[in-house]
C-alpha cells in the first residue's frame, strides 16, 4: 500500500515538473511584465492527436507525415503504438490536480477562459483587456509506460494569435527536457 502511495506522489511530482517546464518555456517568450494565464483544457485535443497518429502495421509509414519531420521511425513506433496510446489515454483520464498552490512561478495565474469570457459580456474595455492576455492552454502531461518519455498538448498566445502543438519530453539523467515539438493547428 505504501509503495502505491509513493508511486502516486512521485507521479504527481513528475506531472508538476512537466507543467513547470511548459510554464517557464512560455514565460520566457512574453514580456517580463506580462502575466501568463493558464488553463488545463486540452486533454481531448491530446487524445485525438494520439488516436489520429496511432501506429499500426496496416498503415504505410509515409502516412505519418505529421510526425516524420520531428521523430524517428523507432520513436514513432514506441510512442504511438496501439498499446501505448491506450495506456496514455487511460493516464490522461486518471486524476491529476494542479491547483493555484502548485503554481509557484510569479506572473502565472490559473484561469478558466470560458468563464472569463462569459463574465465579460459586452463590456468593451473588459473585452479589450481579455483579448490582450497572454494565455497557455495545456493538456495534462502524461508519462509513457517506459517512464522515459512524456507527451502534452499546448496552445499559447493571445486572443488574436495562437500557436499550438505537441511536446514530447524525454527524461535525461533524471531531468525532463523537451525532446521534440510537433506544431499543429486546431480545426
Q: Which residue has the higher pLDDT, 112 or 83?
A: 83
Helices 82-93 and 43-52: crossing angle, nearest 10°? 170
pLDDT at 145 over 90: yes
Computed from CA positions of residues 34, 40, 42, 46, in that sequence, does the dihedral angle turn out positive or negative?
A: positive
- Quote the Cα angle for 13-107-41, to 5°: 60
What is the number of domains present in the chain? 1
The percentage of residues in the chain with a pLDDT greater than 70, rounded to a whole number, is 84
Bigger pLDDT: 113 or 82? Answer: 82
What whole-number percentage of the chain has pLDDT above 90?
30
The CA distances from residue 180 to 2, 22, 73, 167, 168, in Å, are 35, 13, 14, 6, 5
183: enclosing H helix or E strand: strand 175-184
Per the structure, the complete domain to which residue 54 belongs is given by: 2-184
pTM attached to this predicted model: 0.80
Q: What is the pLDDT of residues 12-52, one digit of tens each?
A: 778 778 888 888 888 887 777 778 888 888 999 999 999 98
Residues 6+ apart with CB under 8 A from 20: 104, 105
Amino acid at each position: 500500500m505504501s509503495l502505491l502511495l509513493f508511486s502516486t506522489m512521485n507521479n504527481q511530482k513528475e506531472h508538476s515538473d512537466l507543467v513547470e517546464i511548459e510554464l517557464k518555456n512560455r514565460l520566457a517568450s512574453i514580456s517580463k511584465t506580462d502575466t501568463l494565464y493558464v488553463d488545463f483544457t486540452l486533454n481531448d485535443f491530446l487524445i485525438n492527436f494520439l488516436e489520429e497518429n496511432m501506429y499500426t502495421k496496416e498503415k504505410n509509414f509515409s502516412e505519418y507525415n505529421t510526425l516524420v519531420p520531428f521523430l524517428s521511425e523507432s520513436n514513432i513506433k514506441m510512442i504511438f503504438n496501439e498499446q501505448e496510446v491506450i495506456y496514455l489515454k487511460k493516464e490522461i483520464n486518471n486524476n491529476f490536480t494542479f491547483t493555484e498552490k502548485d503554481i509557484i512561478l510569479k506572473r502565472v495565474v490559473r484561469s478558466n477562459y470560458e468563464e472569463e469570457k462569459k463574465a465579460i459580456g459586452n463590456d468593451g474595455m473588459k473585452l479589450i483587456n481579455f483579448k490582450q492576455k497572454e494565455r497557455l492552454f495545456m493538456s495534462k502531461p502524461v508519462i509513457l509506460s517506459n517512464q522515459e518519455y512524456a507527451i502534452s498538448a499546448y496552445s499559447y498566445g493571445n486572443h488574436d494569435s495562437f500557436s499550438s502543438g505537441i511536446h514530447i519530453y524525454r527524461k535525461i539523467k533524471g531531468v525532463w527536457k523537451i525532446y521534440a515539438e510537433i506544431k499543429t493547428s486546431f480545426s
